[in-house]
Amino acid sequence: MTLSAEDKKNLSNIRITKAYEFLEDAKANHREERYKTSINRSYYAILHAVRSILILEGMNPETHEGVITMLSLKFIKTGLLPLEIIKNFKILIARRTDVDYGDFDTIDASESQDSLKISTDAIKIIEKVRKKMQESL
């Protein structure tokens, strides 16, 4: 199924809104010293932000790895987004995997805070690109 430009914009808006909601959840969990959950939410915030720009290109990967691959091909390699975005995205996916599936991992406030910073900074950059893309649709 092919999406119209308006459908892509609407879906992009829904996804970026979700990204900001997850980011707020990550902040709240950090304040409550629920660091594992904060890291999880930080990761999902950046994931939804990335998905908000991928859909504008007509891409809707079904896996986390697919999102990383498409992000790299369409936005990093083309110079639309800095390489730092993919590196930090991979840091967050590794942390999220550790906290969600690891049995013995301990997470402290500094890792949670760093994850929040990574996610916040990435979303700001992605949002600028997203707005430019929406204008050109």
Question: What are the pLDDT digits (tens) for 71-128?
Answer: 999 999 999 999 999 999 999 999 999 999 998 778 899 999 999 999 999 999 999 9
pLDDT, residue 136, reads: 93
Question: Does 39 score more than 60 pLDDT?
Answer: yes
For 24-42, what is the mean pLDDT? Answer: 97
5: which 2 tokens?
A: 């430009």
Question: Does 135 score more than 70 pLDDT?
Answer: yes
pLDDT, residue 85, reads: 97
Question: Does 1 score more than 70 pLDDT?
Answer: no
Question: Does 9 score more than 70 pLDDT?
Answer: yes
How far CA 100 is from CA of 43, 92, 126, in Å, comes to 11, 12, 25
Question: Does 48 score more than 70 pLDDT?
Answer: yes
The C-alpha atoms of residue 94 and residue 76 are separated, in whole angstroms, by: 19
The C-alpha atoms of residue 67 and residue 77 are separated, in whole angstroms, by: 14
Please work out, in degrees rounded to the nearest 5, the angle formed at the alpha carbon of residue 88 by the alpha carbons of 84 and 91. 145
| Confidence at 2, pLDDT banded by 50, 70, 90 | confident
Q: Could you report the per-residue pLDDT of 50-60, keeping only the tens digit for each?
A: 999 999 999 99
Rg (CA), the chain: 15
Residue ranges covered by each domain of the chain = 5-136
Instruction: Match domain 5-136 to its CATH number in 3.90.870.10, 3.30.70.270, 2.30.29.30, 1.20.120.330.
Output: 1.20.120.330
